[in-house]
A and B are shown apart, each in its own frame.
Chain A
């Protein structure tokens, strides 16, 4: 399947540290997105990177994409306790459909 695999599955860091999460996928894509899910809530879109982009920034977020390795990383700098959540990557199927395939997620815990 196209489903992305994310690692690590869980990550615990101290406030102020940086957090890096990785995502791998299997087939060609048009773009890759990252979403955050707080406990008991729906997913919230964070950032989108297109297949012809290599790096993108949004506030404290930095996303990289390596299409040759079919992988992406999400870096959260200067983490805060409020960043505690699960983070998912999502890819399209490389075609013209609206489908997103979500990864398995990384559970990030930021200790105050």
Chain B
């Protein structure tokens, strides 16, 4: 199994541009999580899905952020418009229903200039 796959690995964009981050969870996992990691705030949960349905989006910072999971093998996190303070590493993680362990992807390092 390839594990959780994220793309792109690095993204540099200018303020105001739309950014789309992508995640492919581990096959068979039915929960998917989006996290953001910064030095100042640590690792924050943004949103998570169970069986493709958003369950808790209370961590999404503002309306500029949106996430979708159109099917069990794909999710996107979109920032529109992006701002410099969105610069962070964004992680996607997945887990199966029976286990508590979450499996993390390698992350996307986003830099907004």
Contacts and interface: CB of A to CB of B under 8 A. Distances in A.
Chain B binds chain A: yes
Interface of A: 3, 31, 33, 41-45, 48, 88, 92, 97-105
Interface string B84-111: 0000000101010000111111110000
Contact of B105 (A3, A42, A100, A102): A42
Contacts of A43: 43, 91, 93, 102, 104
Chain A interface secondary structure, helix, strand, loop or mixed?
loop
Interface of B: prevailing SS: strand
Interface residues of B, number: 21
B104 A42 contact: yes
A98 B4 CA distance: 18
A42 B42 contact: no
A33 B91 contact: no
A42 B100 contact: no
B31 interface: yes
B106 A99 contact: no
